[in-house]
Structure 1
Amino acid sequence: MTLQQFLLILRARYKIALLTLLVTVLTTLVVSLLLPKQYTASSAVVVDVRSPDPVAGMVLPGMASPAYMATQVDIIDSDRVAQRVVKLLRMDESPVIREQWVDATGGTGDFNAWLADLLKQKLDVKPSRESNVINIEFSGKDPNFTATVANTFAQAYIDVNQDLKLAPARQSAAWFEDQTRAVRENLERAQEALSAHQQKTGVVATDERLDYETARLNDLSARLTSVQTETTDSSSKHKSTSSETLAEVMQSPLINSLKSDIARLEAKFQESNVNLGINHPQTKRAESELASLRRRLASETRQISSSIGTTYEVGKQKEKELLEAMEAQKKRVLELNRERDGIAVLMRDVEAAQRTFEAVSQRAAQTRLESQSVQTNVATLNPATVPTQHSRPKILLNVLISIFLGSLLGIGIVLMLELANRRIRSAEDLLQAIDLPVLAVIPGSGAREVSKPPKLPKLPKLPKQLGSTAS
């Protein structure tokens, strides 16, 4: 079908197309006027994704993702928010609404869920482009009710958003409370074990006592070394064959004085023996004094030698006692080392339990603050007001759409009627119908000049016999 044929068909059946367009527009207009008026109230909330968390003190990374705003839209359109709206508006307490629910569902299902579904059917949540503002629109027949529901949805969203934020914090706080009690019990057990060990051993300050005992052991060791040196020296002197060569004997003032007296008396004795004779009383007296001095010298020498032997025996006894004291002191030091190691282990247990308790207590305090926080990053930007003009039906828009659809419908009906009852409306239609050349076109009664016939197709060349006959 060519454009000329299409226009000829429309010209021939334009009344049907106009009638269809008129009926469509009138029907749309009547229906739009008869439909109940719907009012739409809009409330806007803003989601702050850049403010730091008041407890953590940092911006949560998940809030900056593009999916965060889509998640907030889904939360507003969720059953939980809608059911909270039902609770806030006390719609579940209305006997009239309950009767409607019984009539609609026969009393089966959840009443609050049914009301929430009804509210969600008239709810429209639209996030703003390239901003953190979300528009909450609610439509209904009562303008006051629509504004109230829109504002209630905004408040319910803020409450649910806060609950969703606090629910994990409350669970974490409860878990950390249990962990705090557990680590506190561990700390108390570790402290009790340390205290019991200290009471059992009587050791409180292990380092000071160990230093004292170690110093005492070092003093005993030094004394033992000194005694062993003296004992070795006494032993060598005690085993000496000549007592006169001992240093103590040679260095004794009394021995030296006796030796001087003996030397003087020997000289006097020799002089008296030579001058007076051996039997002279003076010679005898000198001899007697000399013998007495020599006995005294021998006695003093023996006494010094005996004292060296006694010193050796005393040194050996003292060395033995010091060795025993050192062994006992070594055992005491080793015992203190063992007790210190045990106390050190217990003290490390206490310190580890203390650090764990402090860390868990700090985290528990933070989660407790988070669970008790009343702040949220959502705020109402523009509360809904009572709409003064209805939002639906939109009469002008409906009429414009009906004009477009009525035109399409009229053209469609005209084409269907034409296809059902095909008419010859031009020379091209006749040429297509009979497949013969058109010689002329007879104009209608109102035509002033003869239409020019269409260009004839070239006839095929006839045979000579047919041509002669025609002539």
Structure 2
Amino acid sequence: MGPKQIYRMLKVRAWLIALLALIGAIAGAIASKQIPKRYEARSRVVVDLLKADPVTGQALPARTLETFLAAQVELIRDPRVTRRVADQFGWAQSPALRAKYEAARGAGSRLGFREWLAADVSRNTHATLIRNSPILEIVYGATVPETARRGADAVREAFLAEALDSKRRDAARNAEWFGRQAAVLKTRLIEAEQRKAAFERANNIVLQDDNMDAESSKLQALASSAAAPAAVTAAPVSAPSAGQLAQVDAQLAAARQTMGVNHPEIIALQRQRAALAAAVGRELTSARAAARASAPAGGQAAEFSVQTRKVLAQRGLVDEARRLAGDITVLREQVAKTMQRAAEFELQAQSTDAGFGKLGAAATPLDPVTPSRWLLMLGGLIGGAVVGAIAAVLVEILARRVRGAEDLQIEGLPLIGMLEPVAGTRRAARSWLPFLPARGATL
């Protein structure tokens, strides 16, 4: 079927196309009367999370801002927000809305009245993220301009209130968790201090603030009082690296409680301990050799020798006491950090800053967003014409007629000749029914 044949079909059935186009225009006019006008108001929210938090000093990284804003766009239409809007307008006490809800509720529907109102607010609300900016635009639609304006502002207020409540809830939950952890760590710290005190009483060892025991301090004093320079050199028998070794042992013991043996931090601490242990061994060997080579003379030398033996005899006990002291140091640091975090979250739980700010107020819309009457009529006219054209072609296909030489070009049947119309000859009257032949047709 060629374009010329289709043109002849449409030309013959032009009355059908015109009729359906007219019907479409009338339908558009009727629709413009029936469809209520809809107005949309807009309110905006600016995100202030790029600024540092006044409590914690932390700011939202810029690379995660877009993901965060996308989540906030979904939160705006969340029932937690839309329920607040319904409550603010007092729709739950409206008898008309109650009757509409009863009429619309299905037999097996479990949706409550308040949830139904929230769903209606959600349908009339949508939010968009303005490109390349930390601004959220909230759009609320209604059949009354003033209702649209109030709805846009109400949704924004409800969103800000929910964002603040959510921030407070999360902060309160985190503060409670850190508080429990701090209590556990305090208990462990008290137990560690009791173990250290019991160990010192049982072995008659008392560590000073610099983790040096009394016997080592006495030995160092004897070495310092010696007149020979070599004696002064031999004074630090206690090995300067011993304190660092005890702290590393405490850190390693604490890490093993929460990490596996193959954890990188465990391996690094083990290597550090091996290096410190080797250094302590070298320092002790050097100190003993110097003490033997330049021991003080007379009674002072004997006292120095006795004190050295005492220090060496209780070296293992002193190291254990230093390990216990290292555990206490680590636990004290953990308690301080945990209590600091708990205090920060407690302040956040009392914060009044949700991380968002209002950007102006919603304006009352002046023009509806629904199509105008003339646009609907034009759309109906075009749609009716398209449907009429399709119907005309289908009618012609179902009741084919010879309207030109192209209609007689059948494969296998040659065309012998064609008669041209004679001027002045009366045209045959056409039947209005496509399946009846033309009346008065002559050859």
Using the size of structure 2 for normalisation, the TM-score is 0.65
Partner deviation per Cα, 1:317-370 (whole Å, 9 max, x = no partner): xxxxx9x99999789767886875565444333322222212222222333334
Partner deviation per Cα, 1:198-237 (whole Å, 9 max, x = no partner): 6785958574565447868999xxxxxxxxxxxxxxxxxx
- CA RMSD between the two structures: 4.0
Does residue 145 of structure 2 align to residue 126 of structure 1?
Answer: no
Are the aligned partners of 2:219 and 2:304 in contact in 1 as well (CA < 8 Å)? no
The match for 2:387 is 409
For 1:89 and 1:403, the matched residues in 2 are separated by: 42
For 1:207 and 1:428, the matched residues in 2 are separated by: 118
**Equivalent residue for 2:111, pick from 98, 109, 112:** 109
For 2:75 and 2:423, the matched residues in 1 are separated by: 74
The match for 1:41 is 41
Does residue 145 of structure 2 align to residue 138 of structure 1?
Answer: no
The match for 2:158 is 156
> How far did 1:38 drift?
2.0
The match for 1:362 is 340
> How far did 1:147 drift?
1.9
Does the C-alpha gap of structure 1 residues 27 and 103 become closer, same or farther in structure 2, counting only changes over 3 Å? closer
Are the aligned partners of 1:28 and 1:402 in contact in 2 as well (CA < 8 Å)? yes
Range that drifts further, 30-39 or 390-399: 390-399
Does the C-alpha gap of structure 1 residues 443 and 163 become closer, same or farther in structure 2, counting only changes over 3 Å? farther
The match for 2:71 is 71
Partner deviation per Cα, 1:90-127 (whole Å, 9 max, x = no partner): 43344543343334326843333222222222223333
For 1:439 and 1:211, the matched residues in 2 are separated by: 133
The unaligned stretches of length 5 or more in structure 1 are 220-321, 448-471
For 2:39 and 2:221, the matched residues in 1 are separated by: 98
Q: Could you tell me which amino acid in structure 2 is paired with residue 425 of structure 1?
A: R
Secondary structure class of the residue paired with 1:373: coil
Does residue 396 of structure 2 align to residue 394 of structure 1?
Answer: no
Are the aligned partners of 1:427 and 1:438 in contact in 2 as well (CA < 8 Å)? no
Map residues 234-383 of structure 1 onto 2, 5 A cutoff.
Answer: 344-383=322-361
Partner deviation per Cα, 1:223-281 (whole Å, 9 max, x = no partner): xxxxxxxxxxxxxxxxxxxxxxxxxxxxxxxxxxxxxxxxxxxxxxxxxxxxxxxxxxx
For 2:368 and 2:422, the matched residues in 1 are separated by: 59
For 2:16 and 2:341, the matched residues in 1 are separated by: 81
The match for 2:266 is none
What percent of counterpart residues are identical? 25
Q: Could you tell me which amino acid in structure 2 is paired with residue 445 of structure 1?
A: G
Range that drifts further, 409-418 or 75-84: 75-84
The match for 1:385 is 363
Secondary structure class of the residue paired with 2:341: helix
> How far did 1:411 drift?
0.9
The match for 2:422 is 443
For 2:409 and 2:191, the matched residues in 1 are separated by: 113
Are the aligned partners of 1:210 and 1:337 in contact in 2 as well (CA < 8 Å)? no
The unaligned stretches of length 5 or more in structure 2 are 226-299, 427-443
Does the C-alpha gap of structure 1 residues 336 and 415 become closer, same or farther in structure 2, counting only changes over 3 Å? closer
> How far did 1:43 drift?
2.0
Are the aligned partners of 1:43 and 1:135 in contact in 2 as well (CA < 8 Å)? yes
Are the aligned partners of 1:144 and 1:386 in contact in 2 as well (CA < 8 Å)? yes
Q: Could you tell me which amino acid in structure 2 is paired with residue 437 of structure 1?
A: I
Range that drifts further, 137-146 or 62-71: 62-71
For 1:215 and 1:67, the matched residues in 2 are separated by: 66
Are the aligned partners of 2:31 and 2:376 in contact in 1 as well (CA < 8 Å)? no
Secondary structure class of the residue paired with 1:148: helix
For 1:331 and 1:430, the matched residues in 2 are separated by: 129
Does the C-alpha gap of structure 1 residues 365 and 442 become closer, same or farther in structure 2, counting only changes over 3 Å? same
For 1:71 and 1:403, the matched residues in 2 are separated by: 43
> How far did 1:409 drift?
1.2
For 2:138 and 2:352, the matched residues in 1 are separated by: 23
For 1:213 and 1:9, the matched residues in 2 are separated by: 121
Are the aligned partners of 1:39 and 1:146 in contact in 2 as well (CA < 8 Å)? yes
Map residues 197-212 of structure 1 onto 2, 5 A cutoff.
Answer: 201=204, 207=213, 211-212=217-218
For 2:341 and 2:86, the matched residues in 1 are separated by: 37
Are the aligned partners of 2:50 and 2:61 in contact in 1 as well (CA < 8 Å)? no
